[in-house]
Structure 1
Amino acid sequence: MLYRIAADGLVLFHLMFIGFVLFGGLLVLKWRGLIVWHLPAALWGMAVEFVHLPCPLTEWENRMRHGAGQSGYGGGFIEHYVWPVIYPAGLTPGIQLGLGAMVLAINLWGYLRLLHQRRPL
């Protein structure tokens, strides 16, 4: 039972991490101290999408699911939880690159805006 609760909690954490990767650049505009957390998270998120790196959170969740007597899953978190809700056909490498580009664009906009705010007039 504890393994299942831990796996479910990790799913929530994973989802929050993805949200932070995607929108953290906007949060940095309000709370500049978040940059030390967001910049590495955003770089990791983009690397996972662009280079197709395996995410350790997915591996940990699968291990916890196995510990709870459940079956794990192949692929990544987005492919397993998010993508079937949006596009049941599956995640293609081209779409994955598009998602990475979206993360890059949103955060680039936030950081460029941050730089613009810091410039002396």
Structure 2
Amino acid sequence: MQALSPAAAGSLADAILALHVGTVAFVVFGTLAILVGGPRGWRWVRHRSFRIAHLALMAFIALQAWFGQLCPLTVWEQALRTRAGQDAYGGSFVQHWLSRLIFFEAPWWIFVAAYTAFAVLVAICWWRWPPRRKH
């Protein structure tokens, strides 16, 4: 099996970063959609598959923060950037701007508190506007 070239590793790191941004967007905008759409009766925000994926992802994020672990997507992206000979978060245009959207410096406890609070909010949404089975 041929090793990954530095150019391919850089491109794959950019793709993983884009996936990471999409994951963050799914959690944040999904929560906003539930908070707005639940009271307004939007049926799609109560779709069972959407809600299970949303809750499970937020629970995973909060738990990994409690255990002091980095997101696997971050670990993979950084390893690929190293393989590509790039500094972490200092590579291509796509990587540079997408990183600025979702990464910032703060003490670890801030992230644990924020992820935990967000997970509690997602759980409250689950209780307040529970998912429904198809009829």
Percent of aligned pairs with the same amino acid: 23
Alpha-carbon distance, 1:31 to partner: 2.7
RMSD of aligned residue pairs (Cα, Å): 2.7
The residue type equivalent to 2:57 in the other structure is A
Q: Does the 8 Å CA contact 2:51/2:126 hold for their aligned counterparts? A: no
Query: Does 1:56 find its partner at 2:62?
Result: no
Local SS of the residue matching 1:97? helix
Q: Name 2:45's counterpart in structure 1.
A: 29
Q: Which residues of structure 2 form unaligned runs of 5+? A: 1-6, 38-43, 90-98
Alpha-carbon distance, 1:114 to partner: 2.1
1:98 aligned to which of 113, 116, 131: 113
Of structures 1 and 2, the larger Rg is shown by 2
* CA–CA separation in structure 2 for the residues paired with 1:66 and 1:59: 11
The runs of at least 4 consecutive aligned structure 1 residues that moved more than 4 Å come to none
Q: Which segment is superposed worse, 61-70 or 46-55?
A: 46-55
* CA–CA separation in structure 1 for the residues paired with 2:8 and 2:30: 31
1:10 aligned to which of 5, 9, 16: 16
* CA–CA separation in structure 1 for the residues paired with 2:113 and 2:81: 30
- Counterparts of 1:79-98 in structure 2 under 5 Å? 81=100, 82-84=102-104, 90-98=105-113
Could you tell me the TM-score, scaled by structure 1's length? 0.68
CA deviation map 1:48-81 (0-9, x unaligned): 22222222111110121122121337xxxxxx74
Q: Does the 8 Å CA contact 1:83/1:91 hold for their aligned counterparts? A: no
Q: Which residues of structure 1 form unaligned runs of 5+? A: 74-79, 85-89
* CA–CA separation in structure 2 for the residues paired with 1:110 and 1:96: 21
Q: Relative contact order (alpha carbons < 8 A, sep ≥ 6): 1 or 2 greater? A: 2
The residue type equivalent to 1:4 in the other structure is G
Q: Name 1:72's counterpart in structure 2.
A: 88
Structure-2 change in CA distance of 1:30 and 1:45 (3 Å): same
Q: Name 1:87's counterpart in structure 2.
A: none
Count of residue pairs brought into register by the alignment: 106
Q: Does the 8 Å CA contact 1:62/1:72 hold for their aligned counterparts? A: yes
